[in-house]
């Protein structure tokens, strides 16, 4: 099976190289990996120059974190921060996807940031030879066989953080023996929930329920959210619906309901991708309402009904202005971050494709999240939530889910 695994990895690499002919992200994926080994060698050279007789006794630890993309980075980030606050250490941070690397390539707490070299025996051996990590942390769904086996071979503690497992994954199929061997080579698997723990027990693999570190992250972020003078004026004396990370598919479902909101409501819309075509589409959906782009917002037009955000980086802070939230993606590729609005006490509406997001099911079960499949359902939920006050209920739920970072830190250093 290891042969088939290696073949599948290299087939993936081949098709990504083909995709570079038309796909900019594929090109970033390929070009970024060409630089990775040089960055590793530079890191190794730098570390070697710091080894002195004194540092041999009081030297720092090296902790390697690997994330698929931005969402996984946010799950690993609380642990990175906890480690940096607790001791003198260096952080190696790798990404699989350009959408994570390009946004966080300048993350200030990491000492080196790069794309993960392709998962091969040769690359894994070279990586460990150069980095010499003391502990390794792979986040959520990342299970790269050669790196995990190499860590086990070298007796380096390897942790899977905030992992989630589903019955339809290959680990639980009759043909999934090789993938199960990967899980068995991990020092500790920290899972988000009891369902994942029970699934692993069914294939005789132990795990520890720690919860989701993102709850720690978003609640800390909410405490330091920024305010913006122009948006203060725009939102003054109004209730606010914040629509975050919306796609075209979301707009088709929610636009009519938004257009029918009463005058005491205003709307902030942040598209998932800031492209002129996306901004134009938003304007087409709301022609009957006075709207303004954030880049054009001033004291003369802050009486607009709809504000849409034409920059990146503000969304988390904007939820602090909200009473309700709609989070996009679940009519398309997958649900975006619903924890951020909830960290400000906002109940959240989202689309139907949220199977891979356990937090969505928890929100629904606890009456703070609402999944809709069409325009009629959105309008019904919106009308229901306009008259409800769920702020305290949402905050209470979010606070009940914190503590994953402390749990993980306690166990890995016990």
Give the whole-angstrom CA distance, residue 207 versus residue 333.
Answer: 29
Q: How many CB atoms lie within 10 A of CB 372?
A: 22
| Residue whose C-alpha is closest to residue 264's, from 305, 224, 230 | 305
Residue 214 CA: distances (Å) to CA of 105, 207, 303, 324: 20, 19, 36, 20
Looking at the domain that runs over 226-400, which CATH code has it been given? Answer: 3.40.50.2000
Given pLDDT bands bounded at 50, 70 and 90, which one contains residue 290? confident
- Taking residues 274-293, report their average pLDDT: 78
Confidence of residue 62 (pLDDT cuts 50, 70, 90): very high
Q: How confident is the model at residue 17 (pLDDT cuts 50, 70, 90)?
A: confident
- pLDDT band, very low/low/confident/very high, at 31 (cuts 50, 70, 90): confident
Q: Where is pLDDT greater, at 231 or 278?
A: 231
* Percent of the chain whose pLDDT exceeds 70: 96
Please check the confidence at residue 401 and state whether its pLDDT lies above 70.
Answer: yes
pLDDT at 58: 42
* Count of CB atoms situated within 10 Å of the CB of 243: 28
- What topology does CATH give the domain 2-48+57-211? Rossmann fold (3.40.50)
**Predicted confidence (pLDDT) at residue 152 exceeds the cutoff of 50:** yes
Report whether pLDDT(55) > 80.
Answer: no
Mean pLDDT over residues 211-233, rounded? 93
Q: Residues 273, 333: contact at Cβ < 8 Å?
A: no
What share of the chain has pLDDT > 90, as a percent? 69
Topology match between the domains 2-48+57-211 and 226-400: yes
Q: Which residue has the higher pLDDT, 13 or 95?
A: 95
- State the Cα–Cα distance between residues 378 and 391, nearest whole angstrom: 20
Q: Where are the domains of the chain?
A: 2-48+57-211, 226-400
pLDDT level of residue 181 (50, 70, 90 thresholds): very high
Q: How far apart are CA 152 and CA 147, in angstroms?
A: 9
pLDDT tens profile 130-142: 999 999 999 999 9
Give first-to-last CA distance, the chain, whole Å. Answer: 36
H-type alpha helices, 320-370? 339-342, 358-365
Residue 54 pLDDT exceeds 70: no
For residue 56, the model assigns a pLDDT of 36
Cβ-based neighbours of 399, under 8 Å, separated by 6 or more: 219
Of 392, 83, 345, the residue nearest 223 (C-alpha): 345
Residue 247 tokens, joined:
């796609």
Q: Lowest mean pLDDT of 54-58, 104-108, 260-264, 374-378, name the range.
A: 54-58
Query: How many angstroms separate the CA atoms of 241 and 379, rounded?
Result: 13
pLDDT of 125 over the 90 cut: yes
For 147-175, what is the mean pLDDT? 96
Residue 212, pLDDT > 70, answer yes
- The predicted pLDDT at position 412 comes to 94
């Amino acid at each position: 099976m290891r042969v088939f695994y290696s073949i599948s990895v290299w087939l993936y690499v081949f098709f990504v190289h083909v995709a570079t002919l038309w796909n900019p992200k594929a090109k970033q994926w390929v070009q970024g990996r060409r630089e990775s080994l040089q960055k590793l060698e530079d890191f190794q050279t730098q570390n070697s120059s710091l080894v002195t007789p004194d540092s041999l006794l009081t030297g720092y630890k090296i902790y390697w974190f690997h994330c698929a993309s931005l969402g996984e980075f946010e799950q690993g980030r609380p642990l990175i921060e906890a480690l940096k606050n607790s001791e003198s250490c260096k952080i190696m941070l790798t990404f699989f996807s350009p959408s994570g690397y390009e946004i966080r390539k300048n993350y200030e707490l990491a000492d080196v940031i790069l794309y993960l070299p392709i998962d091969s025996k040769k690359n894994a051996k070279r990586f460990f030879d150069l980095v010499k990590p003391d502990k390794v942390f792979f986040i959520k769904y990342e299970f790269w066989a050669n790196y995990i086996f190499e860590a086990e071979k070298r007796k380096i503690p390897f942790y899977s953080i905030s992992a989630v497992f589903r019955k339809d994954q290959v680990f639980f199929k009759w043909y999934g023996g090789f993938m199960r061997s990967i899980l068995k080579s991990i020092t500790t698997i920290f899972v988000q929930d009891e369902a994942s723990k029970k699934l692993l027990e069914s294939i005789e693999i132990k795990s520890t329920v720690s919860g989701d570190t993102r709850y720690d992250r978003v609640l800390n972020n909410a405490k330091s959210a920024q305010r913006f003078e122009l948006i203060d004026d725009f939102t003054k004396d109004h209730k606010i619906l914040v629509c975050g990370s919306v796609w075209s598919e979301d707009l088709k479902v929610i636009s009519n309901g938004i257009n029918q909101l009463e005058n005491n409501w205003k709307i902030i819309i942040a598209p998932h991708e800031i492209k002129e075509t996306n901004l134009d589409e938003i304007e087409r959906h709301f022609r009957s309402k006075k709207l303004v782009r954030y880049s054009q917002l001033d004291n003369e037009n802050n009486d607009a009904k709809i504000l849409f955000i034409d920059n990146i980086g503000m969304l988390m802070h904007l939820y602090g202005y909200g009473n309700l939230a709609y989070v996009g993606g679940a009519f398309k590729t997958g649900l975006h971050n619903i924890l951020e609005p909830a960290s400000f006490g906002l109940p959240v509406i989202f689309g139907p494709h949220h199977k891979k997001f356990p937090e969505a099911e928890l929100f629904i079960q606890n009456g703070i999240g609402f999944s809709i499949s069409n325009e009629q359902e959105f309008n019904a939920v919106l009308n229901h939530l306009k008259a409800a006050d769920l702020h305290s209920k949402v905050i209470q739920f979010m606070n009940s889910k914190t503590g994953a970072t402390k749990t993980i830190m306690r166990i890995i250093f016990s």
